Amino acid sequence: MKVDGTPTLIDKDTADAIEFYLISNGYVDRKRKVTDKYRADIKMGTVAPLPEEIQPMTEGIHTLIQSVYDDSVLTDMFTDGHDTKVKDNPLNDNFAKEQFQALWKQINHKYAYTVEFDSDELIRKSVDHINEKLFVSELQYTTTVGRQKSEMNEHEVARGASFTGEKTRTQTLKHAQSSQIKYDLVGKIAEGTV
């Protein structure tokens, strides 16, 4: 919600204060539904004032509460996040002046740069860097051994407590020559460029 034009987050303490306000003024019922008393007070403009610590949020809080039963109140609360941040920048009077136009002609040039790389050197240096800096961790696996209880109930199964005497052991895979797992070298390099 916005407070004085600044987006503000409602934290747990603020939410608790709002809830207490609504309950103590009879604006929500036991099921936390907005009451007719709140609707009537809003319509008549006689809503009880908010506690001092959340007073600056009054407009936003009441807008949010009203949105529970009337979503049309939210139209001004949200904006298009993809909207252009920089609006039109109209030209001022200096643009038409002869001095500015002369300066603009001097500095307004388009440049193109051409870069050449020695492919063999680039490949060699890339391979050397990868060999020096990139380490592939060994493959590990975890084995868990246990016995299923002969008698168990639904809650034990749901909690994962239907096994007893579990032993866990983590080992490093020693003979992975026939492994079908391929290392994602390109992905690893791409991670480092972000």
Question: pLDDT of 175-188, one tens digit each?
Answer: 666 556 666 777 77
CB distance 166 to 160 below 8 Å: no
Tokens of 124: 């060699």
Tell me the pLDDT tens digit for each residue of 60-90: 888 888 888 777 776 666 677 777 777 788 8
Classify residue 20: in a domain, yes or no.
yes
Q: Name the 3-class secondary structure at 173.
A: coil
Classify residue 36: in a domain, yes or no.
yes
Domain that holds residue 63: 2-74
Classify residue 60: in a domain, yes or no.
yes
Classify residue 193: in a domain, yes or no.
no
CB distance 144 to 160 below 8 Å: no
Number of domains in the chain: 1
